[in-house]
Amino acid sequence: MIEEADFKCLRCGHEFKAPYEKGKIEERFCPKCRSNSVRHIKKKL
Ligand SMILES: [Zn+2]
């Protein structure tokens, strides 16, 4: 199941949404600074 999740760049602090597939680890890049120091932000329910 693919859902949209929030990610945050640790380098520039930019937050963005991207499709996220559970159980699948992908390397992500910040669309702003192209850093790969991107962390998944868990949704608050
Ligand atoms: Zn960034």
Ligand 1 centroid distance, CA of 8 (Å): 8
Ligand 1 centroid distance, CA of 32 (Å): 5
Q: From CA 20, how far away is CA 42, in angstroms rounded? A: 11
Ligand 1 centroid distance, CA of 28 (Å): 11
Q: Per residue in 1-45, pLDDT tens?
A: 888 899 999 999 999 999 888 888 778 999 999 999 999 997 666
Q: Angle at CA 1, nearest 5°, toward 13 and 45?
A: 55
pLDDT of residue 45: 62
CATH architecture of the domain with residue range 2-41:
Single Sheet (2.20)
Q: From CA 45, how far away is CA 37, in angstroms rounded? A: 25
Q: Determine contact, residues 18/4, Cβ cutoff 8 Å.
A: yes
pLDDT of residue 7: 94
Ligand 1 centroid distance, CA of 30 (Å): 5
